[in-house]
């Protein structure tokens, strides 16, 4: 008989003989769309950072996953001083790496 426990937001499982606890991965999330569907139907996504609108483009990543990608620069104010910041953002569809091609 195995038993499980939650600790720190993670699930742990102990074996019947050793009693040692080990981390148990949750089941993978299945992606509801194929890569082809995503590339044909997904549209660029508007992202607003510090009031500045930017556009994240539809992308297939080199890892095989897909989603949206955006990079750019903007200026934020800290203690009245203008600070230039660089932005890099991936929005990856969960389960897309294993999605149907």
Looking at residue 27, its pLDDT comes to: 78
* Domain extent listing, the chain: 1-27, 31-98
Q: What is the DSSP string of the chain?
A: --EEEEETTEEEEE-TTT--EEE-PPPPPPPSS-HHHHHHH---EEEEETTEEEEEEEEE-TTS-EEEEEEEEEEEEETTEEEEEEEEEEEEPTTGGGS--
Per-residue pLDDT of the chain (101 residues; tens, 9 = 90+): 444 455 555 665 665 556 566 666 677 888 999 999 999 999 999 999 988 899 999 999 999 999 999 999 999 999 999 999 999 999 999 999 999 98
**What is the model's pLDDT at position 101?**
87
Structure tokens at 36: 């082809």
User: What's the pTM?
Assistant: 0.70
Rounded Cα gap, residues 95 and 47, in angstroms: 22
């Amino acid at each position: 008989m195995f038993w499980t426990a939650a600790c720190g937001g993670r699930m742990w499982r102990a074996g019947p003989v050793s009693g040692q606890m080990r981390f148990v991965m949750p089941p993978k999330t299945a992606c509801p769309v194929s890569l082809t569907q995503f590339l044909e139907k997904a549209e660029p996504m508007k992202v607003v950072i510090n009031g500045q609108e930017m556009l994240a483009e539809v992308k297939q990543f080199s890892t095989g996953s897909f989603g949206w990608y955006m990079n750019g620069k903007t200026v934020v104010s800290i203690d009245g001083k203008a600070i230039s910041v660089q932005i890099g953002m991936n929005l990856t569809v969960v389960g897309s790496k294993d999605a149907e091609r």
